[in-house]
Amino acid sequence: MPEWAWVWRAWCALSADRQWLVTMQMVAPPMGAPVFQSRPVPRPVAWAAVQGWADRHDLAPVERDDLLALIQGMDAEFMLISNERGRE
């Protein structure tokens, strides 16, 4: 859908503003000492970053609401996929 390409471009640009949380996980091999591994976990893009993008692109209030809802939905899916990959 080309008419929604601007949302994809916004999400890609805003991903640079994403914060990551590093978690530690203990892995215990069958015949060895436990090892700690770190794993980055993505956090949602901040509301202020989305609003800043909307300001820079002069979005109308309805477009801002749509953008925020769509970015939050895309973030939720991204975090779900990232967390599933981290468990592998």
Q: What does the pLDDT read at residue 1? A: 58
Full-model pTM: 0.73
Q: Nearest CA to 75 among 3, 28, 7?
A: 7
pLDDT < 50 regions, the chain:
none
The model's pLDDT over 52-68, given as tens digits with 9 standing for 90+, comes to 999 999 999 999 999 99
**Inter-residue contact 45 to 14 (CB < 8 Å):** yes
Mapped onto helix, strand or coil, the DSSP state of residue 58 is coil
* CA 71/CA 67 separation, integer angstroms: 6
Q: Which residues pair with 39 in a beta bridge?
A: 23
